[in-house]
């Protein structure tokens, strides 16, 4: 058999899996939800983009996604920078400690916040005993809770992406800038940050896409008060069994992620040629 033939044969099982187990059903969401037709789904999609209730959920999802992205970059880049530039033997341990949570279930990671943010939780008790407030504040089921939970989940991804970017920036450039009289701050902002920009773009994309599609965290920490696209999609499909709305929500969610991935791929390309 020729090489092309054998390559096709090797690909066949994987392609079959992808087509029947993924691509074909995914297309079905647009055109063939059970007992629904494409027209109905697109009508619902149009209504979603004007209905105040739906718009609030889309706005909350995008808004919290942006905040989480900002927080993850603000906390993750310094960690990546310190670890990548450190010569201490502890750097390896700290890096492992940052990456380890990725192996751990989101469910397990998110449960901790229930103990911390619950109505009699540790943080509320602390705030009362410090005299910040008189009554335990409502922390759970707030946007704050969701931001904390999502930051915990996606910070490791931001750190890995930033770490590999900073590692590729020659530490000699830092020294050169410093030697030429640049301040520490100037070196950081004028040398390190611009050169690791492609990594920052990757980190931002991963965190944003993860945040706007995450289910466990908004479910546990946002509850029914802070609904997001993911929790709406679940309740449309298993509580109210409203297929048109479920499909429309799925389409909005997918467009958000694909849009952001597309923009970041474009930014990455520009960064590479600049």
Question: Of 142 and 254, which has the nearer Cβ to another protein?
Answer: 254
| Residue whose C-alpha is closest to residue 71's, from 167, 139, 152 | 152
Question: Of 49 and 108, which has the nearer Cβ to another protein?
Answer: 108
Q: How far is the CB of 211 from another protein (least distance, A)?
A: 11
Q: What is the CA radius of gyration of the chain?
A: 23
Angle between helices 24-31 and 38-48 (to 10 degrees): 70
How far is residue 63's CA from residue 68's CA, in Å, rounded to a whole number? 9
Q: How far is the CB of 134 from another protein (least distance, A)?
A: 20
Question: Of 10 and 47, which has the nearer Cβ to another protein?
Answer: 10
Question: Of 3 and 52, which has the nearer Cβ to another protein?
Answer: 3
Longest dimension (CA), the chain: 79
CA distances from 128 to 116, 137, 245 (A): 14, 9, 43
DSSP 8-class letter at 3: H
Q: How far is the CB of 176 from another protein (least distance, A)?
A: 19
Contacts of 227 (CB under 8 A, 6+ apart): 57, 60, 218
Q: How far is the CB of 111 from another protein (least distance, A)?
A: 5
Question: Of 52 and 87, which has the nearer Cβ to another protein?
Answer: 87
Q: How far is the CB of 226 from another protein (least distance, A)?
A: 16
How far is residue 74's CA from residue 69's CA, in Å, rounded to a whole number? 9
């Amino acid at each position: 058999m020729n090489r092309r033939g054998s390559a096709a044969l090797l690909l066949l099982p994987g392609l079959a899996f992808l087509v029947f187990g993924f691509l074909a059903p995914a297309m079905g969401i647009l055109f063939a939800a059970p007992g629904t037709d494409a027209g109905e789904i697109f009508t619902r999609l149009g209504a979603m983009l004007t209905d105040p209730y739906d718009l609030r959920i889309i706005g909350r999802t995008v808004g919290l996604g942006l905040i989480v992205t900002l927080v993850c970059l603000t906390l993750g880049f310094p960690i990546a920078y310190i670890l990548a530039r450190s010569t201490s033997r502890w750097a390896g341990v700290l890096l492992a400690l940052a990456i380890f949570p990725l192996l751990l279930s989101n469910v397990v990671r998110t449960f901790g916040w229930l103990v911390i943010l619950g109505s009699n939780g540790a943080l509320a008790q602390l705030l009362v005993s410090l005299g910040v407030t008189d009554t335990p504040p409502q922390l759970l089921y707030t946007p704050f809770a969701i931001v904390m939970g999502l930051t915990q989940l996606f910070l490791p991804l931001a750190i890995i992406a930033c770490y590999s970017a900073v590692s590729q920036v020659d530490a000699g450039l830092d020294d050169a800038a410093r030697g030429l009289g640049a301040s520490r701050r100037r070196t950081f902002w004028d040398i390190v940050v611009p050169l690791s920009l492609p990594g920052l773009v990757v980190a931002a994309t991963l965190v944003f896409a993860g945040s706007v599609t995450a289910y466990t965290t908004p479910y546990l920490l946002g509850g029914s008060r802070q609904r997001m696209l993911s929790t709406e999609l679940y309740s449309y499909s298993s509580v109210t069994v409203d297929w048109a709305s479920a499909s429309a929500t799925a389409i909005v969610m997918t467009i958000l992620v694909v849009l952001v991935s597309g923009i970041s791929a474009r930014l990455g390309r520009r960064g590479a040629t600049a």
